[in-house]
A and B are shown apart, each in its own frame.
Chain A
């Protein structure tokens, strides 16, 4: 039956191609559009994801890694004393203004950490940690350089009224905000941000080998009732949710994707529907020679499955190729398996529904038509 389904479908090459293009288009659209969205929104948790900490400790109700509230640096000792904590490093994040040689200025997001730290610092953020040991040193991203008048190594800028020297570049560490990241030492960040020296934004915690993360989190929360304690994945998700819920970006992207998907699927559904109706005489002949309705339905659904499977495979290959070609740090295309699998399931469901709908027509075919035509 499968063979008959395949052969009948492939006999109408033009229609098969049109339907296949519709399926491929739908899969590519969902995956690339969804991948762009995921790539963009994941940038909201960039510092968390690149920080390499197991647990983030911050102010009560912290909700976005880029918009922290100060906590006392003295908490560090209490955190380090909790069983299961191997390391706890202070981390400072805050907004400031960089004055440019051209006379302009640019909002920047200053990130301060201990250059020797194993978390949220040099090793995780790509640049040479020794670069920050130079006086007034800052590291910026090469892709954000145009926003700050394209500095060369050694060029001077001013942040929060303090002198800053560009001593290194990261490659593609771009956040969700348009403000460039400026990486520096904790002490220098404190100066750029004009913060009291006893305040930081977070403590990044590394667990001791074999420690149970949930248990350590509970102990930390008990030790610091005024703090919020999240593991890294949680805090990245919270930071992402901040933008999703407050900007409606998910709805905008989602609406565009759904609209495109709808167009693609209408093409598929219409083509499949027309393709089945075009073959009413063949289905009539099959009924006349003894095919049961459920055998015809199985044949039509097999054709839809084949189309969905082939279109999904080609669509995923095309989406992966587009991802390779067009994904950049500024507009990353991140296609999680959930989107890839979800798009295939959705397209398959639509193909099956689109094929099953004309079956109602096929069911009503009087097989005597083949003798009377």
Chain B
């Protein structure tokens, strides 16, 4: 496990609670007078230390659910507890701090900052947390080593392959040593081999570092990496038979 002197203490009292607990969560999008319900009465529990997958067809609401778990959207109704915090009660600044200190995001299109090197991209969340640049750089380089990109730390995203960008995004998600990693279609832009490698890495991080991951995906090829699969259908979450999680390759 990576030593993290930069990371603040976590609230111990919430450690026993599930990573994510939703009760009757509902969300609708409004455009003018038109109201489009997306989620309606979502109930789910994701225990800590699991790699949970959210599956579902386009428009089923899985990305909306992930956004709410990530504190990017607020539910219209219901209760949503993430890492013991009631996200519905957080102010925008508090939600930003919650995301910065306790969550790690991997976006489908990575959203790396184009002018920054791989190392600077990984260190960006630390800089936002007020960590000294030299310490942020050191931590970023450790994380790039962890994801196998130690030799690419000075490359800007344009010079990296899609798979490498994905690994940089994973390293960035780990920068603040988050308790919960949220990944949106992490393999959508990758070929089969790169997708498998990315999931191996994500799973390794989850298991070895004792973190929880919630992964939104369409990609059936990566289902064996899930500890639990939650299908989102017509605005509700339906548990699916869970495959035996694939063991880590050496």
Contact = CB atoms under 8 A, between A and B. Distances in A.
A291 B96 contact: yes
Nearest to A11: B115
Interface size class of B (residues with CB under 8 A): 35 or more
Contact of A290 (B108, B109, B125, B133): B125
Nearest to A367: B72
A18 to B, nearest CB: 16
Nearest to A372: B63
Interface size class of A (residues with CB under 8 A): 20 to 34
A28 to B, nearest CB: 28
Interface in A1-25: 1, 3-4, 7-12
B100 A289 contact: yes
A9 B115 contact: yes
Contact of B114 (A282, A292, A295, A367): A282
Nearest to B137: A3
B120 A289 contact: no
A177 B100 CA distance: 69
Interface string A77-88: 000000000000
B93 A8 contact: no
B72 A4 contact: no
A243 to B, nearest CB: 51
B101 A371 contact: no
B113 A7 contact: yes
Contacts of B133: 3
Contact of B128 (A3, A281, A286): A286
A8 B127 contact: no
Contacts of B115: 7-12
Interface string A175-192: 000000000000000000
The winner among B115, B116, B156, B172 for most chain A CB atoms within 10 A is B115
A286 B73 contact: no
B138 to A, nearest CB: 15
B100 A370 contact: no
B55 to A, nearest CB: 16
Contacts of A9: 115
B105 interface: yes
22 contacts: A1-B127, A3-B133, A4-B116, A7-B117, A8-B115, A10-B115, A11-B114, A11-B116, A288-B72, A288-B105, A289-B99, A289-B128, A290-B99, A290-B125, A290-B128, A291-B128, A292-B96, A292-B97, A368-B73, A370-B109, A371-B63, A371-B70
Q: For the complex of A and B, list the 9 residue pairs with the smallest distance between their C-beta atoms, beginning with the closest.
A: A290-B100, A11-B115, A285-B111, A7-B115, A368-B72, A290-B99, A368-B67, A11-B114, A8-B115
